[in-house]
A and B are shown apart, each in its own frame.
Chain A
Amino acid sequence: DSGVTQTPKHLITATGQRVTLRCSPRSGDLSVYWYQQSLDQGLQFLIQYYNGEERAKGNILERFSAQQFPDLHSELNLSSLELGDSALYFCASSLGGQQNTEAFFGQGTRLTVV
């Protein structure tokens, strides 16, 4: 158990809908990262928050947004969902920045868009 909690574990929703994925980082970790994993693309970095502020941005679509709250939990919002958004979404956390710190991954949320 990494100490990172993601909910829900599975989500099935229709195209055009909006969903929210939730992540609670390990106790004491200030950074939260979101990754998308699909079969053909591997692990794609989406976005990082550090202590409530956006720190780094990857290949995150405009339809997607995230935030980190004062209690350090984070939410990833996916809207106008398309079939291609079906993937495993991981949240990870670390004490500091990502360049020289190990990250701990949650068990992921499997999103299926039908």
Chain B
Amino acid sequence: QQPVQSPQAVILREGEDAVINCSSSKALYSVHWYRQKHGEAPVFLMILLKGGEQKGHDKISASFNEKKQQSSLYLTASQLSYSGTYFCGTGGGADGLTFGKGTHLIIQP
């Protein structure tokens, strides 16, 4: 089951904050976040594990609500380099990691 991301797209000015949400209809063991710039490969940002452990980026934070099966990615004081498409991924067991359709983030100067 593909996780659902919202919003589909966000346009911000440099320095503004953004929140990207990811929800799943299945119980989650972990949530993975990746960013992909146009024409490039996805790049790992963060993993959030059941139980509260996080692994990843020191300038981006995220939350993981196991009961609600949701995760949110927080981008504060956005920089031009934050532009790209953000994907959340769930699962990773026998069915593999399933990614959402992505959230397009555009940061304007």
**Chain B binds chain A:** yes
Q: Given that A42-B87, A42-B101 are contacting pairs, would A57 and B96 also be in contact in the complex, using a CB cutoff of 8 Å? A: yes
A58 part of interface (Cβ distance < 8 Å): yes
**Prevailing SS type, chain B contact patch:** strand
Across-interface contacts of A43 in B (CB, < 8 A): 42, 87, 89, 99, 102
A45 touches B42 (CB 8 A): no
Cβ contacts A to B, 25 pairs, < 8 Å = A2-B41, A43-B89, A43-B102, A45-B98, A47-B96, A48-B96, A56-B94, A57-B95, A57-B96, A58-B96, A58-B98, A98-B91, A98-B92, A98-B96, A98-B97, A100-B49, A101-B47, A102-B44, A102-B56, A103-B44, A105-B41, A105-B43, A106-B41, A107-B40, A108-B41
Q: Which of B40, B92, B96 contacts A100 (CB 8 A)?
A: B92
Which residue, A2, A42, A99, A105, has most C-beta atoms of chain B within 10 A? A99
Q: Which of B30, B42, B43 contacts A99 (CB 8 A)?
A: B30
A70-114 with Cβ < 8 A to chain B: 90, 92, 97-108
- Chain B interface: which size bin? 20 to 34
Across-interface contacts of A108 in B (CB, < 8 A): 41
B59 part of interface (Cβ distance < 8 Å): no
Residues in chain B within 8 A of chain A (CB atoms): 2, 29-30, 32, 40-44, 47, 49, 55-56, 87, 89, 91-102
Across-interface contacts of A106 in B (CB, < 8 A): 41
For residue B5, give the distance in angstroms from its CB to the closest CB of chain A. 9
Residue on A with the closest CB to B42?
A105
Q: Which of A44, A45, A58, A107 contacts B41 (CB 8 A)?
A: A107
